[in-house]
Amino acid sequence: MPAGLYPGQAGALCLSSQCQYIAHAVFPEAIAVGLRVIKMGRSSVTYGLSVYAGETQRRVAHGQFVHVFIERSTQQVVPVPSAFKQALQQLMDDMG
């Protein structure tokens, strides 16, 4: 993660995560993971992901997870840091 995305004592905790397995992947198959931002709130970001395997890049799993941003010393929820929000927005713009 580039320096400056978490200014001061801000950090992100995984608030929830889930994954649904659709098919199996077998070693030594290569896998690829696609990641997108589903929702960016005031203090949290919800990401979606898909896992692809093999030469045909068949979809083998999908899921999502939520990061909530906190002040590390107090564990209090804080807004998504502006540098992090800008970096995610750039990714969202590049994707679509």
Residue 89: phi and psi, rounded to 5, are -60, -40
Is 96 within 8 Å of 70 (Cβ atoms)? no
pTM over 0.85: no
The domains of the chain, with CATH numbers, are 16-95 (3.10.129.10)
Average pLDDT, the chain: 87
Confidence of residue 3 (pLDDT cuts 50, 70, 90): very low
* pLDDT digits 0-9 by tens, 19-53: 999 999 999 999 999 999 999 999 999 999 999 99
CA dist list (Å): 94 to 3, 40, 69, 70, 82: 21, 16, 24, 27, 18
Contacts of 43 (CB under 8 A, 6+ apart): 68, 69, 77, 78, 79, 80
Q: What mean pLDDT do residues 56-72 have?
A: 94
